[in-house]
Structure 1
Amino acid sequence: MKKFSFTGETKIYCGITLNRIKAEISFGIVVKGEIGGWLEKEGNLNQSSDAWVSGDARVFGNARVYGDARVYDDAQVYGDARVYDDARVYGDARVYDDARVYGDA
C-alpha cells in the first residue's frame, strides 16, 4: 500500500504543476489522512520510508526525499537535490542543483 496519494489540489509554481499530498497510512509521526506539502511527481518522495513533506514545502524536478528526512514550512528542494537519513529542511531553506543534505543535518 502506498503511504501517500495526491489530493487533486494543484498549484502552479514557476511554471511547474505541483500536487498536494495526503497520508494514506500512519507512519513515523504522520497520521493517516494528514495533508502534506507539494510534489511535482510521486518519485519526489519515497513511498516506503518515513520521509515526509509538509506545510507549504515544495519538492520538484528530479529532487528526492527519503529515509527519515522531513521537508516542511516553506522549504524547497529541487533540481537533482537529495534530502535523506534524518535530515530536516525547513523555514525558507532552499536545497537545489546537486546538493545533498543527510545525516542529522
Structure 2
Amino acid sequence: MKKYELTSETKVFLGKTLYRIKALVQFGNVNAGDLGGWIEKEENLSQSGNARVSGNAEVYGNAEVSGNARVSGNAEVCKIGTVFWIGAIGSRNGTTTFFRCKDGKIYVSCGCFLGDLEEFSDKVKQTHGDNEHGRVYMLAIEMAKARIVEEKNEVH
C-alpha cells in the first residue's frame, strides 16, 4: 500500500525537479491529505514504516529516507561524493563546504550562498575582489578542485 504520492507541485533545485509529496493514508502523526516536503523521485522516500519528509526539506539524488527516519524543516539530503570543508574563512571566519553532486559539478555552501564553483568564484570576485578574503577564498577553490577528483564510474 502506498502511503504518499508525488503532487504536480514542483520546484527546481540544483538542476533537479523536486515534487511536493502528499500523504495518502494516516501514519505516525501524519494524516491522509497532509502535504509533505520535496523529493526528486519515489525511490527517495520509502513507502513503508514511518519515514517522512516534511516542511521545506529536500531529498534527491541517490539519497533514501526509510524506516522511522524523519527529514523536516529546511533540511537538504543528497547522497554526494567527496566533500571538502574549510573553516575560519572569510570576513565572518565561517565554514565553507565544497562537494560534487550527481550532475558532476562541484557545489559550494558558504554562509547564505549555495551554487556551483563558477558561480561562487564570480561572487567572491564581486564581493571581495583581491582583498585578503578574496585571495583566501580563491585558494580554497583551488584546493577543492585538487581534493574533489571526479569519480570514475559513479558520482553520488
How many Å apart are 1:42 and its aligned residue?
Answer: 0.2
The CA distance in 1 between the partners of 2:49 and 2:65, in whole Å, is: 9
Residue in 2 that maps onto 1:51 = 51
1:30-84 Cα distance to aligned partner (Å, 9 max, x none): 110000000000000000110000000000000000111100000011025xxxx
Residue in 1 that maps onto 2:65 = 65
Residue in 2 that maps onto 1:85 = none
The CA distance in 2 between the partners of 1:79 and 1:44, in whole Å, is: 10
Larger radius of gyration: 2
Residue in 1 that maps onto 2:24 = 24
From the two aligned structures, give the one with the greater helix fraction.
2
User: What is the RMSD computed on CA atoms of the aligned residues?
Assistant: 1.8
TM-score normalized with structure 1 length:
0.75
Q: SS of the residue aligned with 1:68?
A: coil
Corresponding residue pairs, total: 83
Residue in 2 that maps onto 1:11 = 11
Q: Which runs of 5+ in 2 are unaligned?
A: 81-98, 101-156
The CA distance in 2 between the partners of 1:44 and 1:6, in whole Å, is: 11
Structure 1: 4+ residue segments shifted above 2 A: none
Give the partner amino acid of 2:34. Answer: E
Structure 2 counterparts to residues 29-40 of structure 1, below 5 A: 29-40=29-40
The CA distance in 1 between the partners of 2:14 and 2:65, in whole Å, is: 20
Larger RCO: 1 or 2 (CA < 8 Å, sep 6+): 1
Q: Which runs of 5+ in 1 are unaligned?
A: 81-95, 98-105
Q: SS of the residue aligned with 1:36?
A: strand
The CA distance in 1 between the partners of 2:17 and 2:53, in whole Å, is: 16
Give the partner amino acid of 2:2. Answer: K
Structure 2 counterparts to residues 94-105 of structure 1, below 5 A: none
Residue in 1 that maps onto 2:76 = 76
The CA distance in 2 between the partners of 1:40 and 1:6, in whole Å, is: 9
How many Å apart are 1:7 and its aligned residue?
Answer: 1.2
